[in-house]
Amino acid sequence: MSTLHQIALTFIKSIGPITAKNLLAYCGSAENVFSASKKQLLQIPGVGNKTVDAILSTNALSRAAQELAFVEKHGIDVLFFSDEQYPRRLKNCYDAPILLYFKGQADLNQKRIISIVGTRNATDYGKNLCRQLCEVLAPYHVLIVSGLAYGIDVTTHKECIANNIATVGVLGHGLDRLYPQVHKSVSQKMVLNGGLLSEFPILTNPDRQNFPQRNRIIAGLADATIVVEASIKGGALITAEIANSYNKDVYAFPGRTNDVFSEGCNFLIKTNRAGLINNAQDLIYYLGWYDEVPENKKPVQVNLQLNLTANEQKVIDVLKNGQLSIDEIAISMNIPQSKLAIVILTLEMQGLIISLPGKVYKLV
């Protein structure tokens, strides 16, 4: 495979990710796209004269040579759509870019990846939520993705660095520059453990229209997108909407009804576009990570000094032998399910037991 031709394919005007994938599917490789005749290209469904003329008259190969020289000089990885290293989660998104530029150490196919987004005008409330999320998620070997913008984005990256979590910033420009420049020191630390990712070539300015476009990568890379703080208008809600269109999980922290920087989160929750989470434990539960105790994290032991009722203590005792269904607990305790349901709900609210699929319960 020719990296030069793969890069060149992204420089052809009027060819976006969907058309590019169509060309690759019929031609077999980027080299074959450039060597195909006009007649051969016109036989491809969805490819018309305008696209063919753009391919045949392009100077993309010379521009690609400049790009290739830059990435080789600066140790930047070129991830093509067909490469094994290309993010698999993103590849499943219909409009995923055919090529990415990546500088860093992170595994973009790591087992656990989440995106955290939010307002550029982060409050102390939002910053504290970012800190708490990162502190709790650190033992789970998670990769956290954001956009390296002001506010929630850069706060997330900084907290990841503080907790030794791999973090990737998705940029709205080429890797020959950084916007905002004030985050340069943060980005340099990110490259050591996480990285910087972009679909844009060098000489691409951080223009306004690039950022909604890059948001689809933030959403597509992850298993779930978490909105920490967001106004009713802005990039965070765009990212959440894109994640929903990809059938990805979206979660949001609720805020006060009169707080402008929580309006977006409250709207997502109210319209069932996001699940409500109050803390990192909620996220771990929803993502199904609760059964895997991370390294260096001891299981929480039930505090026997809690002021439990007799039936609550019986449920705790029964579950010490392992997870059980509500039917099995009811039989063991010789108690009606209607009465047991209230006891179980109380224990769940106290954080002593958790519910698994199929009305099965276990101790935390």
What are the tens digits of pLDDT across the range 185-226? Answer: 999 999 999 999 999 999 999 999 999 999 999 999 999 999
Q: How confident is the model at residue 46 (pLDDT cuts 50, 70, 90)?
A: confident
Q: Give the DSSP H/E element, type plus range, for residue 101.
A: strand 99-104
From 3.40.50.300, 1.10.10.10, 3.30.1370.60, 3.40.50.2300, which CATH number describes the 310-363 domain? Answer: 1.10.10.10
pLDDT at 294: 59
Q: pTM, whole model, 2 decimals?
A: 0.82
> CB pairs under 8 A, 24+ apart, for 70-78?
70/176, 70/202, 71/101, 71/175, 74/103, 74/175, 75/103, 76/101, 76/102, 76/103, 76/175, 77/101, 77/102, 77/103, 78/3, 78/6, 78/7
| Average pLDDT of the residues in 57-83 | 96
* Angle at CA of residue 39, ends 38 and 44, nearest 5°: 95
* pLDDT over threshold 70, residue 319: yes
Domain boundaries, the chain: 1-65, 103-286, 310-363
* pLDDT over threshold 50, residue 291: yes
* pLDDT over threshold 70, residue 240: yes
Q: Convert 128-137 to b/e letters by CB count within 10 Å (16 or more is b).
A: ebbbebbebb
pLDDT at 337: 85
pLDDT at 83: 95
CATH number of the structural domain 1-65: 1.10.150.20
pLDDT at 17: 93
CATH T-level assignment (fold) for domain 103-286: Rossmann fold (3.40.50)
What are the tens digits of pLDDT across the range 145-179? Answer: 999 999 999 999 999 999 999 999 999 999 999 99
Q: How confident is the model at residue 233 (pLDDT cuts 50, 70, 90)?
A: confident
Position with higher pLDDT, 350 vs 291: 350
pLDDT at 305: 47
| Average pLDDT of the residues in 20-36 | 94
Amino acid at 234: G
